[in-house]
A and B are shown apart, each in its own frame.
Chain A
Amino acid sequence: DAGVIQSPRHEVTEMGQEVTLRCKPISGHNSLFWYRQTMMRGLELLIYFNNNVPIDDSGMPEDRFSAKMPNASFSTLKIQPSEPRDSAVYFCASSGSNRNYGYTFGSGTRLTVV
């Protein structure tokens, strides 16, 4: 298995532009998580899905952020409009139905909003 695949690896965009981050979880995993990592706040949970259904989106900063999981093999995190304070590394992770071995993380997308 190729693991959790995220794209793009790096994204530089201008303030006000729309940004879409993509994630392909590990085949067979039924939970998917989006985290954001910054020096100041560490790893923060944004949203997680179970069987493609959003379960907890309380970590989504504001209405500018939205996430979808149209099927078991794909999820997107969209920021519209983007702001400089959104600059961070965004990680996607997936896990199976039990809680053994925690989550498998992707390599992340480093977003810079200028």
Chain B
Amino acid sequence: GESVGLHLPTLSVQEGDNSIINCAYSNSASDYFIWYKQESGKGPQFIIDIRSNMDKRQGQRVTVLLNKTVKHLSLQIAATQPGDSAVYFCAENQAGTALIFGKGTTLSVSS
């Protein structure tokens, strides 16, 4: 079936470094993509989204890149802080369907 996945289950970085979290998706019909952050004991929290008619979108310290040719999504976090430590999920869908989530990447930031 269709699935969304992440390349690496864990990522460890030093405070101040830039982090890149990757995601591969398989449903070529998906036209909407989201990155979520989940802290321990909490529900997933929206970070940034991007539609398929774009290849890059920037937020505060975060950038999402979309490569539809290879069905790849990435989240870049600039100047990573200890508070960024969490599990990050990518999710995708097309109109009329619910979001499908990847397995998640755990980001650990050491100071």
B97 at interface (Cβ–Cβ under 8 A)? yes
- Count of inter-chain pairs, beta carbons less than 8 A: 46
Which positions in B face A, CB cutoff 8 Å? 32, 34, 36, 41-46, 49, 89, 91, 93, 95, 97-104
Assembly CA distance A109 to B90 (angstroms): 22
Which A residues lie within 8 Å of B43 (CB)? 4, 91, 93, 105-108
Task: Verify B49–A101 contact, CB threshold 8 A.
Answer: yes
Which A residues lie within 8 Å of B41 (CB)? 107
5 closest A-B pairs by beta carbon, nearest first, are A105-B43, A43-B101, A102-B34, A42-B103, A48-B98
Task: Say which size band chain A's interface belongs to.
Answer: 20 to 34
Which positions in A face B, CB cutoff 8 Å? 4, 33, 35, 42-43, 45, 48, 56, 91, 93, 99-108
With A99-B32, A99-B95, A100-B49 known as contacts, the answer to whether A105 contacts B44 (CB < 8 A) is yes
